[in-house]
Amino acid sequence: MADASRVFPADEHRARVAALQEGMAADGLDALLLSTAADVFYVSGFLTRFWESPTRPWFVVVPASSAPIAVIPAIGETLMRRTWIADIRTWDAPDPVDDGVSLLVETLASVVPEQGRVGLPAGPETQVRMPLTDFRKLESGLAPRKFVDATGVVCRVREVKSEAEIDRIRATCAVADRAFARVPEIAAPGRSLADVFRGFQIALLEEGADWVSYLAGGAGPEGYSDVISPADNRPLATGNVMMLDTGAVRDGYFCDFDRNFAIGLPSDAASRAHAALHAATEAALSALRPGLQARDVHRLLVDGLRDNGALPCGGRLGHGLGLALTEWPSFTPKDETVLRAGMVLTLEPAAEVAPGRILVHEENLVLREHGAELLSARTPAELPVIGP
């Protein structure tokens, strides 16, 4: 878990805020209003699992040129005081009459002129984490100030990771690598997928995860039918391919990759599909360069699968990663984001093995000037086999 030795130095956060403020200036924003776990952690270093409770909103305000201000429920004050944030304003939440709205109005009004603009992430892959009715009160309380979408400002800064962030993501990936190496001890023919899920989460914790925010997967003859289901109690059977996909967390940073395992010797179709996924990933890893667009990576993976005789499926074939399980950009045919050095990304091609049966493979990497540097240990081309 996070402690003083692992928390980022204040300079890391100052550099992030400076980069945000540069983007704000370019977009003519007088303040930035942040409300999600990832954005608040990014600016402040405030790390807690308490976001799991939907009860209370939390805010960080980034003014145009001064230090960030935390506007938070009193229950978080002690923890926020351990971060670099000096200006911390609290209210007794939850308050059914005024749940921080007047305090937030007052705070924003003090840093945004009447004709000014408040930016907040309101575009693709964002949410404003507060009650809609309260957001409307905020808008009217701050009029004639305007709220505008600042997704671009936040996304362009968060997308490129610092070396300190890359180190943390690499450490989380290493936790998952060690846990995946133990799957042959955890899974066996006859064991239920639910038991494997529990055993794999235990392995992740034993290997150093602070917590396991995400685990999904599947198992079935030659492949699985979807990739977001929780486990069921059916026993693994010879001929199944099992997949585990995890978003473990260490020091607030996620990994997100999966591994496939054949239960007993795999069919030719499953072996070929896995080899094609591996080859398509290999081709994309070789071709990745700053300057490509996100949609180019989608195309690389689709072409790689077809070139290796596999039938591509799935919508998004990879994405950004770091403070959240999934971040911008998205490797889809429509995402025109230009890739830059320092982006941490996943490659996640999917192939159909038989009607309704798929295999998905995923690796994590950081994009360097010269190309991809893997953060997850490269999976072998051949499907690992478990059991007799």
Within 173-192, which residues bind its own copies (CB under 8 A)? none
Question: Cβ of residue 279: shortest distance to its own copies, in angstroms?
Answer: 24
Strand partners, 305: none
Nearest residue (CB) to its own copies, 97 versus 114: 97
**Kind and range of the H or E run holding 249:** strand 240-250
Report how far residue 333's alpha carbon sits from residue 295's, in angstroms, rounded to the nearest whole number: 5
Question: Of 199 and 371, which CB lies nearer to its own copies in the complex structure?
Answer: 199
Query: Hunting for tokens 């600042």 — which residue is that?
Result: 150
Separation CA 241–CA 350 (nearest Å): 14
99 contact partners, CB below 8 Å, separation of at least 6: 56, 57, 91, 93, 131, 134
- Our finding on whether 99 is near its own copies (CB under 8 A) is yes
Contact 329, 320 (CB under 8 A): yes
Of 322-361, binders to its own copies (CB under 8 A) are 324-326, 330, 332, 334-335
Q: CB 87 → its own copies: shortest distance, Å?
A: 19
Tokens 């996304």 sit at which residue?
A: 155
Write the DSSP string, 20-71: HHHHHHHHT-SEEEE-SHHHHHHHH----GGGG--S---EEEEESSS--EEE
Q: Using the rule CB under 8 A, give the single segment among 9-17, 200-208, 277-285, 300-308 that binds its own copies.
A: 200-208
Name the token pair of 263.
Answer: 């239960």
Residue number with CB closer to its own copies (78 or 140): 78
Minimum CB separation from its own copies for residue 291, in Å? 20
How far, in Å, CA of 149 to CA of 42, rounded? Answer: 19
Among 2, 103, 354, 374, binds its own copies (CB under 8 A): 2
CB 277 within 8 A of CB 313: no
Q: Which residue has the tokens 């070139």?
A: 307
Residue selected from 9, 28, 94, 184 as contacting its own copies according to rule CB under 8 A: 94
Question: Pick from 24, 47, 154, 248: which binds its own copies (CB under 8 A)?
Answer: 47
Q: Is 363 in the site for its own copies (CB under 8 A)?
A: no
Tell me which H or E stretch contains 200: helix 193-206
Interacting residues with its own copies between 235 and 254 (CB under 8 A): 247
Which span (16-24, 124-132, 176-184, 270-278) binds its own copies, by CB under 8 A? Answer: 124-132
| Stretch (H or E) spanning 261 | strand 257-263
- Least distance to its own copies, CB of residue 129, Å: 6
State which residue, 39 or 177, has the beta carbon closest to its own copies: 39
Least distance to its own copies, CB of residue 388, Å: 26
Distance in Å, CB of 238 to its own copies, minimum: 20
Stretch touching its own copies by CB under 8 A, among 11-19, 60-68, 202-210, 273-281: 202-210
Q: Which of 78, 114, 144, 291 binds its own copies (CB under 8 A)?
A: 78
Min dist CB 43 to its own copies, Å, is 17
Q: Identify the residue among 22, 87, 106, 226 touching its own copies (CB under 8 A).
A: 226
Quick one: 161 or 319, whose CB is closer to its own copies? Answer: 319
Q: Which of 11, 53, 110, 185 binds its own copies (CB under 8 A)?
A: 53
CB atoms within 10 A of CB 107: 21
Are 145 and 114 in contact by the 8 Å Cβ rule? The answer is yes
Residue 369 CB, shortest distance to its own copies, in Å, is: 26
> What residues from 280 to 319 belong to the interface with its own copies (CB under 8 A)?
314-316, 319
Task: Check residue 271 for interaction with its own copies (CB under 8 A).
Answer: no
According to CB under 8 A, which residues from 125 to 164 bind its own copies? 125-133, 135, 149, 151
Q: Given the complex with its own copies, which of 126 and 376 has the nearer CB atom? A: 126
Q: Does 230 bind its own copies (CB under 8 A)?
A: yes
Q: Which two tokens stand for residue 161?
A: 């990771």
Residue among 95, 167, 307, 382 that touches its own copies (CB under 8 A): 95
What b/e sequence results for 65-98 when a residue is b if at least 16 CB atoms lie within 10 Å of its CB, and e otherwise? Answer: eeebbbbbbebbeeebeebbbeebbbbebeeeee
Contacts of 74 (CB under 8 A, 6+ apart): 90, 91, 92, 93
